[in-house]
């Protein structure tokens, strides 16, 4: 029985890594322009952190977390999302005392024990952005940043949906109104929604069953029940978005999976992800930091699914491996040893060089050099060694010239413009 990777937890092979690095570098560049600073948070946290932040009765906490006791019998969890950790770190290090430290991003793996499918894996990667500033302007900025980033990557057909989830004050009366409505139509809901009605009524807005959708068309909507503060806050966010030329759809039925969202929520949707439709999503969370024992600062953030992003990028060129520049081919033990030394010295001097470690035919070595994309090859055999030279072959044209071994390193560095 061969040991394989765990279901839904995949290797990223060298040929794909270029794309990952490219996406990450674009993210770092743009986020930096927007004043966000990278923060690196642990992959493992105390289970309590997620239970308290995400919400005890969410699917994530109830059945999707990788949770286990460590050797001291403390319950630990592989993070299913990043926001809780960023907030925890912010609170733990008292970063609110440094007013210039309010905007963060982080990139890394998350874990959820779900059945894998297209665009959904048990270990998946997110790019997260969080800003702890209480102003509708920051909501608009964060949304704008998400769109700018996706645009920079040339992701096609992105549709931005926004909604407001209100605050504790307006959500409570609304829940009651919704529950009353649902109780009235309960028998006409699908099986799943019958269950949702009691566990998470808001989710019924997400149901794909046509009959449920019809019923929900007449259901009360949170947007109509916003309190004055929330209403004007939402208006302000929309105003700022418009001022930035952002095109959006107000989707009063959009529901997000984590309990901590308040007021502004948003998703970047695409039709190209199979059963999935969100590449990125996020929103504002008012009470989270206080729940986690910190100051009462609100936050706004989003998460982008890396794998989903890469699916949308598939087929497009993205970050190639640097082709090597020089290949050193040698014939005979003596020459091979000299070649080995030459290769290491050139590498030390910052040149991308490769060689063949099995003593193969010159033909085989040149073939390898070609495969690796070398523009030049040094050929060293007994004949050359005896004359105290090496051959420098230009692959493109197939010409070669003799180069004295004496001072060959400097000569090559000059050739590749690497002399200091």
Partner RNA sequence: GUGGGUGUAGCUCAACAGGUCAGAGCACCGGGUUGUGGCCCCGGAGGCUGAGGGUUCGAGUCCCUUCACUCACCCCA
Distance CA 310, CA 9 (A): 16
Does an H or E element contain 392, and which? strand 389-394
3-class state of residue 33 by DSSP: helix
Question: 129 and 301 in contact (C-beta within 8 Å)?
Answer: yes
**Closest by alpha carbon to 233, among 131, 137, 300, 129?**
137
Task: Give CA separation, 149 vs 49, 63, 403, in Å.
Answer: 30, 32, 49
Find the binding residues for RNA in span 226-255 (CB under 7 A).
255
- Of 297 and 335, nearer to RNA (C-beta) is 335
Site membership for RNA, residue 58 (CB under 7 A): yes
Q: Nearest 5°: phi and psi at 145? A: -60, -45
Q: Residue 4 has what DSSP assignment?
A: -
Question: 409 and 345 in contact (C-beta within 8 Å)?
Answer: yes
**Site track 97-136 with RNA (rule: CB under 7 A), x = hit:** ---------------x-xxxxxxxx--x-x----------
Distance CA 66, CA 11 (A): 19
* The only residue of 11, 322, 398, 420 in contact with RNA, by rule CB under 7 A: 398
CB of 415 to RNA, least distance (A): 17
Mention every residue, 6+ apart, whose C-beta is less than 8 A from residue 70. Answer: 76
Q: Characterise 129 by phi-psi region: left (phi > 0), alpha (psi -120 to 50), beta (else).
A: beta
Site membership for RNA, residue 166 (CB under 7 A): no
CB of 107 to RNA, least distance (A): 13
* The only residue of 234, 285, 393, 412 in contact with RNA, by rule CB under 7 A: 393
Query: Where are the extended beta strands (E) located within 211-309?
Result: 249-250, 262-273, 276-285, 299-305
Q: By rule CB under 7 A, what count of residues binds RNA?
A: 70
Rg, C-alpha atoms of the chain: 29
- Of 95 and 128, nearer to RNA (C-beta) is 128
- Of 358 and 417, nearer to RNA (C-beta) is 358
Find the binding residues for RNA in span 278-297 (CB under 7 A).
278-282
Find the binding residues for RNA in span 170-209 (CB under 7 A).
192, 196, 200, 203, 206-209
CB of 276 to RNA, least distance (A): 5
**Site track 253-272 with RNA (rule: CB under 7 A), x = hit:** --xxxx--------x-----
* The only residue of 180, 370, 402, 410 in contact with RNA, by rule CB under 7 A: 370
Task: By CB under 7 A, name the binding residues for RNA.
Answer: 4, 7-8, 58-60, 64, 81, 112, 114-121, 124, 126, 192, 196, 200, 203, 206-209, 255-258, 267, 274-282, 303-305, 307-308, 331, 360-364, 366-371, 379, 381-384, 391, 393, 395-398, 400
């Amino acid at each position: 029985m061969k040991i394989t990777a765990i279901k839904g937890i995949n290797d990223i092979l060298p040929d794909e890594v270029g794309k990952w690095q490219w996406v990450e570098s674009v993210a770092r560049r743009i986020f930096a322009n927007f004043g966000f600073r990278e923060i690196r948070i642990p992959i493992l946290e105390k289970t309590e952190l997620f239970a308290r932040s995400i919400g005890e009765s969410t699917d994530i906490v109830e059945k999707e977390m990788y949770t286990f006791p460590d050797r001291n019998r403390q319950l630990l969890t592989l993070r299913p999302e990043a926001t809780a950790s960023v907030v925890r770190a912010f609170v733990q290090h008292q970063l609110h005392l440094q007013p210039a430290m309010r905007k963060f991003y982080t990139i890394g793996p998350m874990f959820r024990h779900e059945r894998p499918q297209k665009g959904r894996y048990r270990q998946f990667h997110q790019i997260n952005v969080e800003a702890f500033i209480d102003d509708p302007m920051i909501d608009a900025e964060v949304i704008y940043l998400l769109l700018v980033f996706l645009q920079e990557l040339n992701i096609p057909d992105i549709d931005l949906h926004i909604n407001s989830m209100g605050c504790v004050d307006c959500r409570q009366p609304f829940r009651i109104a919704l529950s009353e409505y649902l109780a009235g139509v309960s028998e006409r809901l699908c099986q799943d929604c019958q269950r949702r009605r009691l566990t998470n009524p808001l989710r019924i807005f997400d149901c794909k069953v046509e009959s449920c959708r019809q019923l929900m068309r007449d259901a009360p909507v949170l947007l109509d029940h916003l309190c004055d503060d929330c209403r004007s806050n939402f208006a302000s966010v929309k105003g700022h978005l418009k001022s930035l030329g952002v095109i959006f759809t107000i989707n009063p039925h959009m529901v997000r999976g984590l309990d901590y969202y308040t007021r502004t929520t948003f998703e970047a949707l695409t039709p190209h992800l199979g059963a999935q439709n969100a590449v990125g999503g996020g929103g504002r969370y008012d009470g989270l930091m206080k729940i986690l024992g910190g100051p009462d600062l609100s936050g706004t953030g989003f998460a982008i699914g890396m794998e989903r992003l890469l699916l949308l990028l598939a087929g497009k060129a993205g970050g190639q491996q640097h082709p090597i520049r020089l290949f050193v081919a040698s014939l005979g033990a003596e020459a091979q040893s000299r070649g080995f030394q030459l290769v290491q010295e050139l590498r030390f001097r910052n040149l991308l060089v490769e060689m063949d470690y099995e003593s193969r035919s010159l033909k085989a070595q040149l073939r390898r050099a070609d495969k690796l994309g070398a523009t030049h090859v040094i050929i060293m055999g007994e004949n050359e060694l005896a004359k105290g030279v090496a051959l420098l072959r230009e692959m493109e044209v197939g010409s070669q010239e003799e180069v004295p071994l004496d001072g060959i390193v400097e000569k090559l560095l000059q050739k590749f413009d690497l002399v200091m």
